[in-house]
């Protein structure tokens, strides 16, 4: 089999665009299926508009688990230091970001293919201060003499019924034990869905475009708070300070959907905005408030009871589309939505929320 080269990847991209299956392309061009995988992942990356590096080596699965640019850049700033050891570097996207803020990066992964791709990706990005190592980081870390920070991006099975700390690879307790001999300043990424985190550390939830994206645990001098949330790409940050609570209220004039990281971290009471109350899973206020921690803001136009009142309110609002924000099973969503949209002729989009005994007809504010 020919070694993977750029010309073959480009040819495979053209054929993939024509809908030809990877196995057939590999056979026709006499190239490996890995080369076709790379072509497919590049096409996906282009479709996603992620073009900071055009010629990345990765498979579609690698792309799925790779660190996104916003998170990689943020972490690289927060963990800026002389020498960082990165455990679980994968195809090297986080390593490349570290290379731009740290003097030296030692990047380790147990998967030889990924380490090979990571080396090619680092060359493509033009960074020269990363030493890639292949093997079990828990063994290799013992041979490293000095490091300022250890960062570990963990691996877990794609489909798991419940995210549990003990199912994460490498074992977090072992990472803390082994790497704790090198430095106490450790950051470990874990799935944000994990319920129990039995460690004394900062739990920092990250969102990208207001969607919950990551949970990073900070140990040693890296710990700045107990719980924090950062909304990326802007980087606005909230920290838990004391025991604040928001008072509950029925829906007022405005309804707010909170940033995913802030919500997961339970930091709504720390959003610096006066006159904010909690209303079920949303926030509400009488006056319109601005905050980088709001994912969406809705104006409550009408409060209704029963289908007849809702339909009349939707018509009065000039509504044609009705987005349901009520608890409903996904297979019933469109059937229910059609029920509200039938007979509507307007051009406006309304959002329908439920609050105790009422339905709220709302419009999203710009």
Binding site for ligand SAM (CB under 6 A): 62, 65-67, 87-91, 93-94, 108-111, 114, 136-138, 153, 155, 169-170
Min separation Cβ 339 and ligand SAM, Å: 42
* Nearer residue to ligand SAM within complex by CB, 73 or 351: 73
* Nearer residue to ligand SAM within complex by CB, 90 or 192: 90
Evaluate whether 135 touches 124 at the Cβ level (below 8 Å): no
Min separation Cβ 153 and ligand SAM, Å: 4
Neighbour-count burial of 71, counting CB atoms closer than 10 A to its CB (0-12 exposed, 13-18 middle, 19+ buried): buried
Min separation Cβ 156 and ligand SAM, Å: 8
The rounded Cα 167 to chain-centroid distance in angstroms is 20
- d(CA 301, CA 252) in angstroms, rounded, equals 10
* Nearer residue to ligand SAM within complex by CB, 62 or 216: 62
* Nearer residue to ligand SAM within complex by CB, 170 or 260: 170
- d(CA 326, CA 360) in angstroms, rounded, equals 10
Other CB atoms within a 10 A radius of the CB of residue 277 amount to 16
* Nearer residue to ligand SAM within complex by CB, 90 or 251: 90
- d(CA 229, CA 203) in angstroms, rounded, equals 8
Min separation Cβ 256 and ligand SAM, Å: 32
Cis amide bond preceding 302, omega within 30 = no
* Nearer residue to ligand SAM within complex by CB, 125 or 362: 125
Which residue's C-beta sits nearest to ligand SAM?
90
Min separation Cβ 32 and ligand SAM, Å: 20
- d(CA 68, CA 206) in angstroms, rounded, equals 12
Neighbour-count burial of 218, counting CB atoms closer than 10 A to its CB (0-12 exposed, 13-18 middle, 19+ buried): buried
Edge-to-edge strand order for the sheet containing 149-153? 130-134, 104-109, 83-87, 149-153, 186-190, 211-218, 202-208, 227-232, 236-239
- d(CA 60, CA 330) in angstroms, rounded, equals 27
Min separation Cβ 247 and ligand SAM, Å: 40
* Nearer residue to ligand SAM within complex by CB, 63 or 344: 63
Query: What sign has the CA pseudo-torsion 320, 326, 329, 330?
Result: positive
């Amino acid at each position: 089999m020919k070694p993977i080269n750029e010309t073959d990847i480009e040819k495979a991209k053209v054929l993939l665009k024509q809908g030809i299956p990877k196995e057939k392309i590999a056979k026709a061009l006499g190239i490996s299926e890995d080369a076709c995988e790379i072509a497919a992942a590049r096409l996906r990356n282009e479709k996603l508009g992620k073009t900071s590096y055009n010629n990345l080596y990765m498979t579609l699965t690698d792309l799925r688990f790779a660190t996104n640019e916003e998170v990689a850049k943020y972490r690289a700033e927060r963990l800026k230091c002389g020498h960082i050891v990165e455990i679980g570097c994968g195809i090297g996207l986080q390593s490349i970001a570290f290379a731009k803020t740290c003097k030296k990066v030692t990047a380790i992964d147990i998967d030889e293919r990924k380490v090979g791709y990571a080396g090619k990706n680092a060359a493509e990005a033009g960074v020269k201060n990363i030493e890639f190592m292949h093997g079990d980081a828990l063994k290799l870390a013992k041979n490293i003499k000095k490091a300022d920070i250890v960062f570990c991006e963990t691996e877990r099975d794609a489909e798991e019924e419940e995210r549990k700390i003990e199912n994460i690879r490498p074992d977090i307790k072992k990472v803390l034990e082994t790497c704790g001999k090198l430095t106490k300043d450790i950051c470990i990424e874990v799935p944000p869905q994990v319920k129990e985190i039995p460690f004394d550390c900062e739990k920092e939830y990250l969102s990208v475009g207001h969607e919950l994206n990551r949970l990073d645990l900070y140990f040693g001098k890296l710990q700045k708070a107990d719980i924090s949330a950062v909304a990326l790409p802007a980087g606005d940050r909230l920290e838990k300070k004391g025991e604040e609570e928001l008072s509950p209220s029925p829906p007022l004039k405005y309804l707010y959907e909170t940033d995913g990281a802030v919500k997961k971290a339970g930091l709504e009471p720390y959003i610096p905005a006066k006159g904010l109350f909690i209303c079920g899973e949303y926030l509400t206020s009488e006056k319109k408030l601005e905050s980088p921690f709001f994912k969406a803001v809705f104006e409550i136009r009408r409060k209704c009871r029963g289908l007849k009142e809702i339909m009349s309110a939707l018509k009065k609002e000039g509504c044609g589309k009705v987005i349901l924000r009520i608890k409903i099973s996904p297979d019933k969503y469109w059937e229910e939505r059609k029920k509200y949209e039938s007979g509507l002729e307007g051009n406006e989009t309304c959002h329908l929320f439920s609050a105790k005994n009422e339905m709220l007809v709302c419009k999203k504010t710009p």
